[in-house]
Amino acid sequence: MRVIGAAMSKFGKMEGTMREDASRTALAAINRAGVDPEIVEEILVGNAFGLVDRQGHLGPLIATSLGLEGAATATVESACASSGVALQLAYNSVAAGASDATLVVGVEKVSHVDTKTATTYFTYGSDVPFEAGSGATFPGLYATLATAYLHKYGATEEQLAHVAVKNHKNALANPNAHLHKAISVEQVMKSPYVAWPLKFYDCCPFSDGSAAVLLAAESVAKSWGIDGAEVVGSGRGGSAAQLSSRASLVEIPGTRQAAHQAFAQAGLEPKDVDFAEVHDCFTIAEVLAVEDLGFVKKGRGAAASAEGLTALSGDLPVNPSGGLKAKGHPVGATGAGQAVEVFEQLDGRAGARQVKGAEIGLTHNIGATGGSCAVHLFRRV
């Protein structure tokens, strides 16, 4: 199976509506592939807050804008993993032969509401009566994971800060990134606490944006003479919804499960991966991800950025796009956005943030505190 086209909006602030932005990005992905739009048989939309914003059922709106009103559509809501999960479902659909070409479109807009309202929207992805209902916010839930991690492994807030510094640096070379601002460890450390031990610069911004990926059967790609990027592994997993139901707070079981599936399917191991786009909504999330994906041993993730392993020039570049932390995190668009970055990297079009010799790329997208997880492996053709 191949990704034959991909596109994203500039993440940050969206002027129009989600349906307009998503439709334009979807068309850009189809046009990037250079195929007749009529080949699209199915459209899966990743979106988390459409209903809260009084416009649900985005699939038919996007399909109709594209002149594809006969396409089968569905919206996937899996919190921050909405479009990563949609991509995995699209993979299943094409693999089963139910669709020869499925378009995955992720979109989100939150910048028109104030920070307190957006913070509240995000809490709807938690176990509301038991977590948000006792005051949890998303920074708070990840901060709770961070205290458990720092306590168990003796890691430091400075080590977390290095994740933010790296990803901000990478985003400087990404014209579509939300934040174009170099920061220092000292700036991170001096920024105010949002939820101790996480500070302002440990947290991703509230972003708007859209991203689209066109997935097609190999026969379709060949008939159009398109190499694209090969999808060699597609996995999905889950974790207990509540932090209180987890046996361990220093790992995300769903990440391990999704990664295991994807690697087994691809016949690859973590050491084969040339670069990864991982879910770094907060700095601690990248630390947990590089461990749970098998790149480093448990307890070693905090040092990965500080020691340069995950830098663009390191042995395993992580989040060359800038990640959720600096490229931005338009919740429903994030998973598809990661696949867009991998597509560009494997096509050698990532400009100053190009990972040299990139052959195998990984994406890792998780919903809420990891209740839902999707991991994909792509190979340059």
Partner 1 sequence: MAAAVEPQAPPTIADVLERARAGRLWGRKCRNCRRVTFIDELRCGSCKKQEFAAFESKGEGEIVAFTVITFPAEAFASHGPYAFVVVRMAEGASTTGWMPSVRDPRQLRIGEKVRVALPPAGMGIAFEKA
Q: Which residue has the tokens 């994740």?
A: 163
Our CB check for partner 1 shows the closer of 284 and 311 to be 284
Catalytic site residue from 279, 329, 364, 376: 329
Minimum separation from the CB atom of position 248 to partner 1 (A) = 10
Q: Would you say the C-alpha torsion 241, 76, 362, 310 has a positive or negative sign?
A: negative
CB-CB contact of 102 with 40 (8 Å): yes
Q: Is 244 in the site for partner 1 (CB under 8 A)?
A: yes
Q: Is 97 in the site for partner 1 (CB under 8 A)?
A: no
Q: Is 120 in the site for partner 1 (CB under 8 A)?
A: yes
**Which residue from 136, 215, 306, 377 is in contact with partner 1, where contact means CB under 8 A?**
136
Q: Is 319 in the site for partner 1 (CB under 8 A)?
A: no
Minimum separation from the CB atom of position 153 to partner 1 (A) = 13
Beta strands 72-76 and 42-46 are parallel
What is the edge-to-edge ordering of all strands in the sheet holding 42-46? 72-76, 42-46, 101-108, 209-216, 2-8, 229-238, 372-380, 360-367, 275-277
Question: Which among 95-103, 111-119, 325-333, 355-363 is the span making contact with partner 1, rule CB under 8 A?
Answer: 111-119
Six-digit token string for 308: 């340069």
Q: Is 31 in the site for partner 1 (CB under 8 A)?
A: no
CA–CA distance, 259 with 293 (Å, rounded to integer): 6
Minimum separation from the CB atom of position 195 to partner 1 (A) = 5
Known catalytic membership, residue 329 = yes
CB-CB contact of 183 with 305 (8 Å): no
Amino acid at 13: K
Q: Is 190 in the site for partner 1 (CB under 8 A)?
A: no
CB-CB contact of 358 with 346 (8 Å): yes
Our CB check for partner 1 shows the closer of 105 and 194 to be 194
DSSP letter for each residue of 273-294: -SEEE---SBHHHHHHHHHHTT
Known catalytic membership, residue 203 = no
**Which residue from 245, 264, 351, 352 is in contact with partner 1, where contact means CB under 8 A?**
245
Our CB check for partner 1 shows the closer of 146 and 179 to be 146
Q: Is 154 in the site for partner 1 (CB under 8 A)?
A: no
| Catalytic residue positions, numbered | 80, 329
Q: Residues in the site for partner 1, rule: CB under 8 A?
A: 115-117, 119-120, 123, 127, 129-137, 139-141, 143-148, 151, 192-198, 242-245, 249
